[in-house]
Amino acid sequence: MIHASAIIHPQARIGTNCVIGPFCVIGENVTLGDGCHLLSHVVIDGHTTLGRENQVYPFASIGLKSQDLKWKGGVTRLEIGDRNVFREGVNIHSATDDGKATVIGSDNLLLTYVHIAHDCVLGNRIIMSSYAALAGHVVVEDHAILGGFTAVHQFCRIGRFSMTGGCSRIPQDVAPFMIVEGNPAETRTVNKIGMDRHGISDEAQTALRQAYKIFFREELSIPNALAKIETEVPPLPEVQHLVQFIRSSERGVTR
C-alpha cells in the first residue's frame, strides 16, 4: 500500500498494513508502527517514531530539525504514540539538545496548521484546534483542549481537563480543570462541560468550584490561597492535583 511516487529511505522501518500515499517522503531514521496512514505529500524525517494507527494528512511536516537557535547538532528525537490524527499542515519539530526528545502521547487530535515546537511533551486525548501553537518546552496534560489560534509561551504547562478560548495568549501556566481566555489570558471559570463529558464526579466538581473561588476570586496570595484550599476543601485526588500543579509552577499560574 505504498504509492509509486512516495520516496522512502531503504533504512526506514515501516510496520505492517501501513498506507503511504502519493508524494510522501520518509527519512532514514523513521519508524512507522503498524496501520499508519499517510494520505499524501507528508514529510517525516529525523529520528522519529510513530506508534500504531496514526493518521497524517497532506502537507504535514513531522520530526524535522528544531528551529531553536541553540541547536548545535547531535541526535534529537520525536516520539509519537498511537492513534493520533495530524490534519493538514501540522508541523512538529524534534528536540534541541543531543539525546532529548519531543514527545506526543496517544489519541490526540491536532487540527490544521497546529505547530508543536522542540522539546514539548503532550499527554493523551488532547485536542488542539486550527493554528494553535506551542513554543518550546511546553507541557500539555491529558484531555486539555486548545482553542484556535491559541499561542502558548515557552516552558508553560497546560493542565489536564483545561480549555483555552480561541485567540488566547498564554504566558503562564493554565491550571487543571479551568477555562482561560483572553490576551493575556485570564481564568474565567471551571471547565464543567469538559468534566461532565469525562465522568468527573459531582463531589469532585463541587470541590473544584470551591477551590476555584478561593484561588482565583478571593485575591489571596498564592501560599495563603493554597493553605485555605487544603484546610477547607475536601482532599479529593482532583483537588490535590490542582494544588500540586499550582505549587510546582515555575512561570506562575494564569489568574
Residues acting as catalytic residues: 118-119, 136
- Could you tell me if 161 and 177 are in contact, meaning their C-beta atoms sit under 8 angstroms apart? yes
Instruction: Let me know if 207 is exposed, middle or buried by CB neighbors in 10 A (0-12, 13-18, 19+).
Output: buried
Give the chain's count of helices (H) and strands (E): 4, 27
Report whether 16 contacts 33 (CB < 8 A).
no
CA 169 to chain centre: 16
| Spatial CA neighbour of 144 closest among 59, 156, 95, 136 | 156
CA atoms within 13 A on the CB side of 110: 33
Residue 197 CB-half CA count within 13 A: 11
Residues 6+ apart with CB under 8 A from 242: 159, 175, 176, 177, 208, 211, 229
CA distance 90 to 92: 7
Q: Is 186 left (phi over 0), alpha (psi -120 to 50) or beta?
A: beta
